[in-house]
Amino acid sequence: MDQKQIGAWIEAGEAVFGLELGSTRIKAVLIGENGAPLASGSFDWENRLENGVWTYRLEDVWHGIQESYKNLAAAVREKYGVELKRLKGLGFSAMMHGYLAFDRGGALLVPFRTWRNTMTEAAAADLTRRFGFNIPQRWSIAHLHQAILNGEPHVKDIAFITTLAGYVHWKLTGERVLGVGDASGMFPIDSETNTYDAGMLEKFDALHADKGYPWTLGAILPAVRTAGEAAGTLTAEGARLLDPTGTLEPGAPLCPPEGDAGTGMAATNSVRVRTGNVSAGTSIFAMVVLEKALSKVHMEIDMVTTPAGKPVAMVHCNNCTSDINAWAALFKSFAEAVGAPCTMPLALDTLFYKALEGEADCGGLAAYNYFSGEPITGMEEGRPLFTRLPDSRLSLENFARTQLYSAMATLKIGMDILIEQEHAAVDSLLGHGGFFKAKGVGQKLMAGALHTPVSVMETAGEGGPWGMALLAAYRVNGAGMTLEDYLDSRIFAGSEAVRAEPDAADTAGFESFLARYKRLLPAERAAVEGLR
Protein backbone atom coordinates (compact mmCIF):
# COMPACT_ATOMS: atom_id res chain seq x y z
CA MET A 1 0.00 0.00 0.00
CA ASP A 2 1.15 3.56 -0.68
CA GLN A 3 0.94 6.39 1.87
CA LYS A 4 -2.56 7.41 0.78
CA GLN A 5 -3.88 3.85 0.98
CA ILE A 6 -2.31 3.37 4.41
CA GLY A 7 -3.96 6.61 5.56
CA ALA A 8 -7.37 5.41 4.38
CA TRP A 9 -6.73 2.05 6.07
CA ILE A 10 -5.88 3.78 9.37
CA GLU A 11 -8.92 6.04 9.03
CA ALA A 12 -11.12 2.96 8.57
CA GLY A 13 -9.98 1.69 11.99
CA GLU A 14 -7.89 -1.24 10.75
CA ALA A 15 -4.59 -0.41 12.51
CA VAL A 16 -3.48 -2.05 15.76
CA PHE A 17 -1.83 -0.25 18.69
CA GLY A 18 0.73 -1.49 21.22
CA LEU A 19 2.37 0.39 24.10
CA GLU A 20 5.06 -0.68 26.56
CA LEU A 21 6.16 1.08 29.74
CA GLY A 22 9.88 0.37 29.98
CA SER A 23 12.17 1.42 32.80
CA THR A 24 13.37 4.60 31.05
CA ARG A 25 11.04 4.98 28.06
CA ILE A 26 7.35 4.58 27.31
CA LYS A 27 6.82 3.77 23.65
CA ALA A 28 3.72 3.27 21.50
CA VAL A 29 3.69 1.60 18.07
CA LEU A 30 0.96 1.46 15.43
CA ILE A 31 1.15 -1.51 13.06
CA GLY A 32 -0.49 -2.41 9.79
CA GLU A 33 -0.97 -5.63 7.88
CA ASN A 34 1.64 -8.32 8.57
CA GLY A 35 2.89 -6.35 11.57
CA ALA A 36 4.64 -3.58 9.64
CA PRO A 37 5.24 -0.53 11.89
CA LEU A 38 3.35 2.52 10.60
CA ALA A 39 4.06 5.14 13.29
CA SER A 40 5.40 5.45 16.81
CA GLY A 41 5.51 7.87 19.72
CA SER A 42 7.51 7.81 22.92
CA PHE A 43 8.17 9.58 26.20
CA ASP A 44 11.23 9.32 28.45
CA TRP A 45 10.78 8.87 32.18
CA GLU A 46 12.75 7.74 35.21
CA ASN A 47 12.04 5.88 38.41
CA ARG A 48 12.33 7.74 41.72
CA LEU A 49 13.95 6.66 44.97
CA GLU A 50 11.49 7.82 47.63
CA ASN A 51 11.82 6.80 51.28
CA GLY A 52 14.19 4.03 50.24
CA VAL A 53 11.75 2.61 47.66
CA TRP A 54 12.22 2.58 43.88
CA THR A 55 8.91 3.78 42.49
CA TYR A 56 7.01 5.54 39.72
CA ARG A 57 4.09 7.81 40.57
CA LEU A 58 0.78 6.87 38.95
CA GLU A 59 0.29 10.41 37.65
CA ASP A 60 3.61 9.99 35.82
CA VAL A 61 2.34 6.72 34.34
CA TRP A 62 -0.65 8.45 32.75
CA HIS A 63 1.28 11.53 31.70
CA GLY A 64 3.80 9.31 29.90
CA ILE A 65 1.11 7.19 28.25
CA GLN A 66 -0.80 10.27 27.08
CA GLU A 67 2.35 11.94 25.71
CA SER A 68 3.35 8.76 23.86
CA TYR A 69 -0.13 8.46 22.35
CA LYS A 70 -0.17 12.16 21.45
CA ASN A 71 3.21 11.86 19.72
CA LEU A 72 2.07 8.76 17.81
CA ALA A 73 -1.17 10.46 16.70
CA ALA A 74 0.86 13.48 15.54
CA ALA A 75 3.15 11.18 13.55
CA VAL A 76 0.09 9.60 11.88
CA ARG A 77 -1.28 13.04 11.05
CA GLU A 78 2.05 14.22 9.62
CA LYS A 79 2.88 11.04 7.68
CA TYR A 80 -0.54 9.99 6.39
CA GLY A 81 -2.67 13.13 6.67
CA VAL A 82 -5.41 11.53 8.78
CA GLU A 83 -6.66 11.68 12.37
CA LEU A 84 -6.36 8.54 14.49
CA LYS A 85 -9.96 7.98 15.59
CA ARG A 86 -10.52 4.23 15.57
CA LEU A 87 -8.36 1.21 16.32
CA LYS A 88 -8.94 -2.44 15.49
CA GLY A 89 -7.20 -3.58 18.67
CA LEU A 90 -4.91 -2.45 21.48
CA GLY A 91 -2.45 -3.96 23.91
CA PHE A 92 -0.44 -2.67 26.88
CA SER A 93 2.70 -4.09 28.44
CA ALA A 94 5.18 -2.98 31.08
CA MET A 95 8.05 -3.99 33.30
CA MET A 96 7.10 -7.18 35.10
CA HIS A 97 6.84 -7.93 38.81
CA GLY A 98 6.64 -5.36 41.59
CA TYR A 99 3.72 -4.51 43.84
CA LEU A 100 0.64 -2.38 43.24
CA ALA A 101 -1.99 -2.88 45.96
CA PHE A 102 -5.45 -1.28 45.91
CA ASP A 103 -8.35 -1.14 48.36
CA ARG A 104 -12.02 -1.82 47.63
CA GLY A 105 -12.52 1.76 46.41
CA GLY A 106 -9.62 1.50 43.95
CA ALA A 107 -7.23 3.67 45.98
CA LEU A 108 -3.51 2.83 45.94
CA LEU A 109 -2.58 1.64 49.44
CA VAL A 110 1.22 2.16 49.30
CA PRO A 111 3.47 3.70 46.64
CA PHE A 112 4.23 1.37 43.69
CA ARG A 113 7.16 -0.91 44.58
CA THR A 114 8.98 -1.74 41.34
CA TRP A 115 10.95 -4.84 40.31
CA ARG A 116 14.17 -2.97 41.13
CA ASN A 117 13.68 -3.08 44.90
CA THR A 118 15.64 -5.65 46.90
CA MET A 119 13.64 -5.42 50.13
CA THR A 120 12.07 -8.89 50.11
CA GLU A 121 15.01 -11.23 50.76
CA ALA A 122 13.45 -12.91 53.80
CA ALA A 123 10.07 -13.38 52.09
CA ALA A 124 11.56 -14.70 48.84
CA ALA A 125 13.73 -17.24 50.65
CA ASP A 126 10.83 -18.36 52.87
CA LEU A 127 8.43 -18.87 49.94
CA THR A 128 11.07 -20.63 47.83
CA ARG A 129 11.55 -23.13 50.67
CA ARG A 130 7.83 -23.62 51.31
CA PHE A 131 6.80 -23.86 47.64
CA GLY A 132 9.79 -25.83 46.35
CA PHE A 133 9.81 -23.27 43.54
CA ASN A 134 12.23 -20.38 42.99
CA ILE A 135 10.58 -17.10 44.06
CA PRO A 136 12.86 -14.16 43.18
CA GLN A 137 12.80 -11.00 45.30
CA ARG A 138 11.18 -8.93 42.55
CA TRP A 139 8.06 -11.13 42.26
CA SER A 140 4.77 -9.66 43.46
CA ILE A 141 4.11 -12.51 45.87
CA ALA A 142 7.47 -11.88 47.56
CA HIS A 143 6.46 -8.23 48.07
CA LEU A 144 3.09 -9.22 49.54
CA HIS A 145 4.62 -11.84 51.85
CA GLN A 146 7.27 -9.35 53.01
CA ALA A 147 4.59 -6.74 53.75
CA ILE A 148 2.83 -9.36 55.91
CA LEU A 149 6.09 -10.33 57.67
CA ASN A 150 6.72 -6.62 58.32
CA GLY A 151 3.25 -6.24 59.84
CA GLU A 152 2.34 -3.46 57.42
CA PRO A 153 -1.15 -2.17 58.28
CA HIS A 154 -2.30 -1.76 54.67
CA VAL A 155 -2.40 -5.52 54.06
CA LYS A 156 -5.79 -6.01 55.73
CA ASP A 157 -7.35 -3.49 53.31
CA ILE A 158 -6.14 -5.12 50.07
CA ALA A 159 -8.84 -5.86 47.49
CA PHE A 160 -6.61 -6.23 44.42
CA ILE A 161 -2.91 -6.54 43.61
CA THR A 162 -1.48 -6.35 40.12
CA THR A 163 1.46 -5.36 37.93
CA LEU A 164 1.95 -2.06 36.12
CA ALA A 165 0.53 -3.48 32.87
CA GLY A 166 -2.39 -4.98 34.77
CA TYR A 167 -3.11 -1.63 36.41
CA VAL A 168 -3.13 0.27 33.09
CA HIS A 169 -5.36 -2.38 31.48
CA TRP A 170 -7.78 -2.25 34.43
CA LYS A 171 -8.16 1.51 34.14
CA LEU A 172 -8.73 1.34 30.37
CA THR A 173 -11.21 -1.57 30.37
CA GLY A 174 -12.50 -2.08 33.90
CA GLU A 175 -11.20 -5.68 33.70
CA ARG A 176 -8.91 -7.08 36.40
CA VAL A 177 -7.07 -9.52 34.17
CA LEU A 178 -3.46 -10.27 33.27
CA GLY A 179 -1.70 -12.12 30.48
CA VAL A 180 -0.25 -15.42 31.65
CA GLY A 181 3.33 -14.30 30.96
CA ASP A 182 3.01 -11.25 33.21
CA ALA A 183 1.04 -13.26 35.77
CA SER A 184 3.93 -15.74 35.95
CA GLY A 185 6.04 -12.94 37.46
CA MET A 186 3.46 -12.38 40.19
CA PHE A 187 2.89 -15.97 41.33
CA PRO A 188 3.86 -19.43 40.00
CA ILE A 189 1.78 -20.68 37.06
CA ASP A 190 0.63 -24.25 36.42
CA SER A 191 1.31 -24.70 32.70
CA GLU A 192 -1.22 -27.54 32.53
CA THR A 193 -4.07 -25.20 33.50
CA ASN A 194 -2.54 -21.83 32.51
CA THR A 195 -3.51 -20.27 35.81
CA TYR A 196 -1.98 -19.88 39.27
CA ASP A 197 -0.69 -23.06 40.91
CA ALA A 198 -3.61 -24.19 43.10
CA GLY A 199 -1.48 -26.05 45.63
CA MET A 200 0.76 -23.05 46.22
CA LEU A 201 -2.25 -20.74 46.57
CA GLU A 202 -3.56 -23.04 49.31
CA LYS A 203 -0.17 -23.11 51.05
CA PHE A 204 0.00 -19.31 51.09
CA ASP A 205 -3.52 -18.94 52.49
CA ALA A 206 -2.85 -21.58 55.15
CA LEU A 207 0.38 -19.83 56.12
CA HIS A 208 -1.50 -16.64 56.98
CA ALA A 209 -4.84 -18.12 58.11
CA ASP A 210 -4.24 -16.93 61.69
CA LYS A 211 -3.96 -13.27 60.62
CA GLY A 212 -7.70 -12.86 60.00
CA TYR A 213 -7.35 -11.07 56.67
CA PRO A 214 -10.71 -10.65 54.87
CA TRP A 215 -9.27 -12.01 51.60
CA THR A 216 -7.78 -15.12 50.05
CA LEU A 217 -4.86 -14.82 47.65
CA GLY A 218 -6.77 -16.16 44.65
CA ALA A 219 -9.44 -13.49 45.15
CA ILE A 220 -7.03 -10.53 45.06
CA LEU A 221 -4.84 -11.65 42.15
CA PRO A 222 -5.88 -10.70 38.58
CA ALA A 223 -7.61 -13.37 36.50
CA VAL A 224 -5.21 -15.05 34.06
CA ARG A 225 -5.69 -14.92 30.28
CA THR A 226 -3.62 -16.46 27.50
CA ALA A 227 -2.73 -14.73 24.22
CA GLY A 228 -5.73 -14.33 21.94
CA GLU A 229 -8.34 -14.57 24.70
CA ALA A 230 -10.89 -11.83 25.34
CA ALA A 231 -9.71 -9.31 27.92
CA GLY A 232 -12.20 -6.45 27.67
CA THR A 233 -12.76 -3.43 25.44
CA LEU A 234 -11.71 0.20 25.62
CA THR A 235 -14.31 2.04 27.68
CA ALA A 236 -15.31 5.67 27.16
CA GLU A 237 -13.36 6.55 30.32
CA GLY A 238 -10.41 4.52 29.07
CA ALA A 239 -10.40 6.25 25.69
CA ARG A 240 -10.28 9.63 27.46
CA LEU A 241 -7.43 8.44 29.69
CA LEU A 242 -5.43 7.44 26.61
CA ASP A 243 -6.41 10.43 24.46
CA PRO A 244 -7.65 13.40 26.53
CA THR A 245 -8.57 15.27 23.31
CA GLY A 246 -11.54 12.93 22.89
CA THR A 247 -10.62 12.08 19.29
CA LEU A 248 -10.14 8.34 19.94
CA GLU A 249 -13.38 6.35 19.94
CA PRO A 250 -14.05 3.64 22.56
CA GLY A 251 -15.05 0.04 21.86
CA ALA A 252 -11.90 -1.57 20.45
CA PRO A 253 -10.90 -4.92 22.01
CA LEU A 254 -7.78 -5.13 24.17
CA CYS A 255 -5.66 -8.26 24.33
CA PRO A 256 -4.43 -9.53 27.71
CA PRO A 257 -1.80 -7.16 29.16
CA GLU A 258 1.70 -8.64 29.16
CA GLY A 259 5.12 -8.20 30.70
CA ASP A 260 8.30 -7.16 28.96
CA ALA A 261 9.59 -10.74 28.87
CA GLY A 262 6.54 -11.90 26.90
CA THR A 263 6.66 -9.01 24.45
CA GLY A 264 10.36 -9.68 23.91
CA MET A 265 9.53 -13.28 23.04
CA ALA A 266 6.85 -12.14 20.58
CA ALA A 267 9.13 -9.53 18.99
CA THR A 268 11.85 -12.13 18.38
CA ASN A 269 9.48 -14.97 17.41
CA SER A 270 10.77 -17.05 20.31
CA VAL A 271 7.50 -18.54 21.57
CA ARG A 272 7.74 -22.06 20.15
CA VAL A 273 9.02 -24.98 22.25
CA ARG A 274 12.83 -25.48 21.97
CA THR A 275 13.42 -21.90 20.83
CA GLY A 276 14.77 -19.02 22.84
CA ASN A 277 16.25 -15.57 22.75
CA VAL A 278 19.24 -13.85 24.29
CA SER A 279 19.07 -10.16 25.13
CA ALA A 280 22.60 -8.83 25.56
CA GLY A 281 23.22 -5.21 26.47
CA THR A 282 23.97 -3.68 29.88
CA SER A 283 22.62 -6.93 31.36
CA ILE A 284 22.27 -10.29 29.64
CA PHE A 285 19.52 -12.86 29.89
CA ALA A 286 18.38 -15.91 27.98
CA MET A 287 14.82 -17.24 27.81
CA VAL A 288 14.23 -20.80 26.59
CA VAL A 289 10.78 -22.29 25.91
CA LEU A 290 10.73 -25.71 27.58
CA GLU A 291 9.06 -28.96 26.62
CA LYS A 292 8.31 -29.60 30.30
CA ALA A 293 8.71 -27.90 33.67
CA LEU A 294 12.01 -28.15 35.55
CA SER A 295 12.51 -31.17 37.79
CA LYS A 296 13.67 -29.18 40.82
CA VAL A 297 14.42 -25.70 42.14
CA HIS A 298 17.48 -23.92 40.76
CA MET A 299 18.20 -20.53 42.31
CA GLU A 300 20.00 -19.53 39.10
CA ILE A 301 16.88 -20.03 36.95
CA ASP A 302 13.58 -18.15 37.03
CA MET A 303 10.45 -19.82 35.67
CA VAL A 304 8.01 -17.70 33.64
CA THR A 305 5.81 -18.46 30.61
CA THR A 306 5.25 -17.41 27.02
CA PRO A 307 2.15 -15.28 26.33
CA ALA A 308 0.49 -18.56 25.32
CA GLY A 309 1.38 -20.22 28.63
CA LYS A 310 4.31 -22.47 27.66
CA PRO A 311 6.91 -22.82 30.45
CA VAL A 312 10.00 -20.66 29.99
CA ALA A 313 13.30 -20.86 31.85
CA MET A 314 15.06 -17.53 32.28
CA VAL A 315 18.75 -17.19 33.12
CA HIS A 316 19.40 -13.56 34.07
CA CYS A 317 22.79 -11.94 34.69
CA ASN A 318 23.33 -8.34 35.76
CA ASN A 319 26.48 -7.65 33.74
CA CYS A 320 27.28 -7.82 30.03
CA THR A 321 28.63 -4.90 27.99
CA SER A 322 29.51 -2.23 30.59
CA ASP A 323 33.13 -3.38 30.97
CA ILE A 324 33.58 -3.66 27.19
CA ASN A 325 32.34 -0.07 26.90
CA ALA A 326 34.76 1.06 29.63
CA TRP A 327 37.77 -0.47 27.88
CA ALA A 328 36.66 0.95 24.52
CA ALA A 329 36.51 4.41 26.13
CA LEU A 330 40.06 3.92 27.47
CA PHE A 331 41.40 2.93 24.04
CA LYS A 332 39.54 5.87 22.47
CA SER A 333 41.25 8.18 24.95
CA PHE A 334 44.66 6.67 24.14
CA ALA A 335 44.07 7.06 20.40
CA GLU A 336 43.22 10.73 20.89
CA ALA A 337 46.34 11.20 23.06
CA VAL A 338 48.58 10.03 20.19
CA GLY A 339 46.76 12.21 17.68
CA ALA A 340 44.43 9.64 16.13
CA PRO A 341 40.86 10.87 16.78
CA CYS A 342 38.48 7.97 17.37
CA THR A 343 34.74 7.68 17.99
CA MET A 344 33.17 5.27 20.47
CA PRO A 345 31.42 3.27 17.71
CA LEU A 346 34.80 2.85 15.95
CA ALA A 347 36.53 1.86 19.19
CA LEU A 348 33.83 -0.72 19.96
CA ASP A 349 33.76 -2.13 16.43
CA THR A 350 37.56 -2.43 16.46
CA LEU A 351 37.52 -4.34 19.75
CA PHE A 352 34.79 -6.69 18.54
CA TYR A 353 36.38 -7.45 15.17
CA LYS A 354 39.84 -7.88 16.72
CA ALA A 355 38.31 -10.47 19.07
CA LEU A 356 37.74 -12.75 16.07
CA GLU A 357 41.52 -12.76 15.49
CA GLY A 358 42.31 -13.80 19.07
CA GLU A 359 43.25 -17.30 20.17
CA ALA A 360 40.24 -19.50 20.90
CA ASP A 361 41.17 -19.75 24.61
CA CYS A 362 42.27 -16.08 24.86
CA GLY A 363 45.92 -17.04 25.37
CA GLY A 364 45.58 -17.58 29.10
CA LEU A 365 43.96 -14.23 29.94
CA ALA A 366 41.00 -13.88 32.33
CA ALA A 367 38.52 -11.13 33.20
CA TYR A 368 35.42 -10.49 35.28
CA ASN A 369 33.00 -7.86 33.94
CA TYR A 370 31.18 -7.39 37.24
CA PHE A 371 30.12 -3.76 37.57
CA SER A 372 27.39 -4.94 39.96
CA GLY A 373 26.70 -8.08 41.95
CA GLU A 374 26.07 -11.40 40.20
CA PRO A 375 23.85 -13.88 42.09
CA ILE A 376 24.70 -16.85 39.84
CA THR A 377 28.33 -16.77 41.03
CA GLY A 378 27.42 -15.62 44.55
CA MET A 379 28.77 -12.07 44.28
CA GLU A 380 26.66 -9.50 46.12
CA GLU A 381 28.78 -6.67 44.66
CA GLY A 382 30.94 -6.36 41.56
CA ARG A 383 34.57 -5.43 40.92
CA PRO A 384 35.69 -5.40 37.26
CA LEU A 385 38.90 -7.43 37.15
CA PHE A 386 41.49 -8.39 34.50
CA THR A 387 44.34 -10.80 35.26
CA ARG A 388 46.94 -13.01 33.56
CA LEU A 389 50.08 -15.04 34.12
CA PRO A 390 53.38 -13.30 33.35
CA ASP A 391 53.81 -15.53 30.30
CA SER A 392 50.19 -15.33 29.07
CA ARG A 393 49.97 -14.09 25.50
CA LEU A 394 48.81 -10.50 25.98
CA SER A 395 47.74 -9.03 22.66
CA LEU A 396 44.95 -6.70 21.60
CA GLU A 397 43.24 -9.65 19.88
CA ASN A 398 43.39 -11.91 22.94
CA PHE A 399 42.43 -9.06 25.26
CA ALA A 400 39.38 -8.19 23.15
CA ARG A 401 38.27 -11.83 22.99
CA THR A 402 38.68 -12.10 26.77
CA GLN A 403 36.31 -9.18 27.30
CA LEU A 404 33.67 -10.72 25.01
CA TYR A 405 34.03 -14.13 26.66
CA SER A 406 33.71 -12.50 30.09
CA ALA A 407 30.42 -10.93 28.98
CA MET A 408 29.01 -14.43 28.32
CA ALA A 409 30.65 -16.50 31.06
CA THR A 410 28.08 -16.11 33.84
CA LEU A 411 25.23 -16.73 31.40
CA LYS A 412 26.96 -19.95 30.31
CA ILE A 413 27.18 -21.14 33.93
CA GLY A 414 23.40 -20.70 34.28
CA MET A 415 22.69 -22.24 30.87
CA ASP A 416 24.80 -25.30 31.74
CA ILE A 417 22.47 -26.02 34.67
CA LEU A 418 19.52 -25.84 32.29
CA ILE A 419 21.02 -28.01 29.57
CA GLU A 420 23.24 -30.46 31.48
CA GLN A 421 21.19 -30.97 34.66
CA GLU A 422 17.67 -30.45 33.28
CA HIS A 423 18.40 -31.77 29.76
CA ALA A 424 16.51 -28.87 28.19
CA ALA A 425 16.65 -28.96 24.39
CA VAL A 426 17.38 -25.73 22.52
CA ASP A 427 17.30 -25.84 18.73
CA SER A 428 18.15 -22.18 18.19
CA LEU A 429 18.54 -18.83 19.93
CA LEU A 430 17.81 -15.39 18.54
CA GLY A 431 20.21 -12.70 19.70
CA HIS A 432 19.39 -9.03 20.11
CA GLY A 433 21.02 -6.06 21.85
CA GLY A 434 24.27 -4.13 21.65
CA PHE A 435 26.49 -7.23 22.00
CA PHE A 436 25.36 -8.29 18.51
CA LYS A 437 25.81 -4.90 16.83
CA ALA A 438 29.20 -5.66 15.22
CA LYS A 439 28.03 -7.92 12.40
CA GLY A 440 28.85 -11.59 12.84
CA VAL A 441 31.05 -11.25 15.93
CA GLY A 442 28.92 -11.58 19.06
CA GLN A 443 26.70 -14.25 17.53
CA LYS A 444 29.64 -16.38 16.30
CA LEU A 445 31.32 -16.35 19.70
CA MET A 446 28.03 -16.93 21.54
CA ALA A 447 27.13 -19.86 19.27
CA GLY A 448 30.46 -21.42 20.22
CA ALA A 449 30.11 -20.58 23.92
CA LEU A 450 26.55 -21.94 24.25
CA HIS A 451 27.04 -24.70 21.67
CA THR A 452 23.78 -23.64 20.04
CA PRO A 453 23.02 -21.90 16.72
CA VAL A 454 22.48 -18.16 17.23
CA SER A 455 20.55 -16.05 14.72
CA VAL A 456 20.32 -12.30 14.38
CA MET A 457 17.56 -10.71 12.31
CA GLU A 458 18.75 -8.47 9.49
CA THR A 459 16.04 -5.93 10.29
CA ALA A 460 16.04 -5.27 14.01
CA GLY A 461 12.52 -5.40 15.42
CA GLU A 462 10.89 -2.54 17.25
CA GLY A 463 11.33 -4.34 20.55
CA GLY A 464 8.73 -4.70 23.32
CA PRO A 465 6.13 -2.16 22.10
CA TRP A 466 6.11 -3.85 18.69
CA GLY A 467 5.82 -7.26 20.38
CA MET A 468 2.82 -5.96 22.33
CA ALA A 469 1.21 -4.70 19.12
CA LEU A 470 1.73 -8.16 17.59
CA LEU A 471 -0.10 -9.75 20.54
CA ALA A 472 -2.93 -7.23 20.10
CA ALA A 473 -3.05 -8.10 16.38
CA TYR A 474 -3.20 -11.81 17.23
CA ARG A 475 -6.22 -11.12 19.45
CA VAL A 476 -8.19 -9.58 16.53
CA ASN A 477 -6.69 -11.35 13.49
CA GLY A 478 -5.51 -14.75 14.71
CA ALA A 479 -8.74 -16.74 15.09
CA GLY A 480 -8.19 -20.46 14.60
CA MET A 481 -4.38 -20.21 14.82
CA THR A 482 -1.92 -20.79 17.64
CA LEU A 483 0.26 -17.83 18.56
CA GLU A 484 3.28 -19.74 17.26
CA ASP A 485 1.68 -20.34 13.85
CA TYR A 486 0.35 -16.79 13.62
CA LEU A 487 3.79 -15.26 14.20
CA ASP A 488 5.48 -17.73 11.83
CA SER A 489 3.04 -17.33 8.95
CA ARG A 490 1.70 -13.78 9.25
CA ILE A 491 4.55 -11.78 10.76
CA PHE A 492 7.96 -13.39 10.30
CA ALA A 493 7.46 -15.40 7.10
CA GLY A 494 9.62 -13.05 5.02
CA SER A 495 12.11 -12.04 7.69
CA GLU A 496 15.79 -12.33 6.92
CA ALA A 497 17.98 -13.78 9.65
CA VAL A 498 21.70 -14.55 9.69
CA ARG A 499 22.44 -17.81 11.50
CA ALA A 500 25.78 -18.74 13.05
CA GLU A 501 26.50 -22.40 13.79
CA PRO A 502 28.76 -23.38 16.70
CA ASP A 503 32.41 -23.71 15.67
CA ALA A 504 34.20 -26.61 17.36
CA ALA A 505 37.38 -24.58 17.93
CA ASP A 506 35.40 -21.72 19.48
CA THR A 507 33.56 -24.14 21.76
CA ALA A 508 36.76 -25.84 22.95
CA GLY A 509 38.46 -22.49 23.47
CA PHE A 510 35.56 -21.09 25.47
CA GLU A 511 35.40 -24.19 27.68
CA SER A 512 39.11 -23.72 28.46
CA PHE A 513 38.47 -20.05 29.28
CA LEU A 514 35.46 -20.93 31.46
CA ALA A 515 37.43 -23.49 33.48
CA ARG A 516 40.03 -20.77 34.18
CA TYR A 517 37.20 -18.31 34.98
CA LYS A 518 35.68 -20.65 37.57
CA ARG A 519 39.06 -21.38 39.20
CA LEU A 520 39.68 -17.64 39.62
CA LEU A 521 36.32 -16.78 41.21
CA PRO A 522 38.03 -16.57 44.65
CA ALA A 523 40.10 -13.69 43.21
CA GLU A 524 36.90 -11.83 42.32
CA ARG A 525 35.59 -12.58 45.82
CA ALA A 526 38.80 -11.13 47.30
CA ALA A 527 38.41 -8.01 45.14
CA VAL A 528 34.83 -7.54 46.36
CA GLU A 529 35.89 -7.85 50.00
CA GLY A 530 39.22 -6.00 49.77
CA LEU A 531 38.43 -3.10 47.44
CA ARG A 532 35.99 -0.81 49.20
pLDDT at residue 462 in the model: 60
- Per run of 10 residues, the mean pLDDT along the chain (length 532 residues) is 94 98 94 94 95 96 99 98 98 97 99 92 96 95 98 99 99 99 98 97 98 98 99 99 99 98 92 94 92 90 96 93 96 98 96 99 98 90 96 98 98 95 94 91 98 82 85 98 97 90 98 98 97 92
Q: Look at residue 433 in the predicted model and tell me its pLDDT.
A: 84
pTM: 0.90
CATH architecture of the domain covering 260-319+414-500: 2-Layer Sandwich (3.30)
| Backbone region of residue 176 per phi and psi (left: phi > 0; alpha: psi in -120 to 50; beta: other values) | beta
Q: Cβ(234)–Cβ(172) under 8 Å? A: yes
**What b/e string do you get for 219-230 counting C-beta neighbours within 10 Å, with b at 16 or more?**
ebbbebbbbbee
Which of the 8 DSSP states describes residue 469? H
The pLDDT assigned to 293 comes to 84
Q: Are the C-beta atoms of 331 and 314 separated by less than 8 Å?
A: no
Which pLDDT belongs to residue 118? 84
- Give me the pLDDT at residue 380, please: 86
pLDDT at 458: 67
Sketch the domain layout of the chain as residue ranges.
260-319+414-500, 322-410+504-530
CA-based angle 117:299:402, to the nearest 5? Answer: 90
Q: Which residues contact 490 (CB under 8 A, 6 or more apart)?
A: 34, 35, 477, 478
Q: Say how many C-beta atoms besides its own lie within 10 A of residue 159's C-beta.
A: 17
Q: Which residues contact 45 (CB under 8 A, 6 or more apart)?
A: 24, 25, 26, 56, 60, 64
Kindly give, in sequence order, each residue whose CB lies less than 8 Å from that of residue 457, ignoring residues fewer than 6 positions away. 268, 430, 432, 495, 496, 497
Distances in Å between the Cα of 99 and the Cα atoms of 213, 431, 436, 455 are: 18, 30, 34, 36
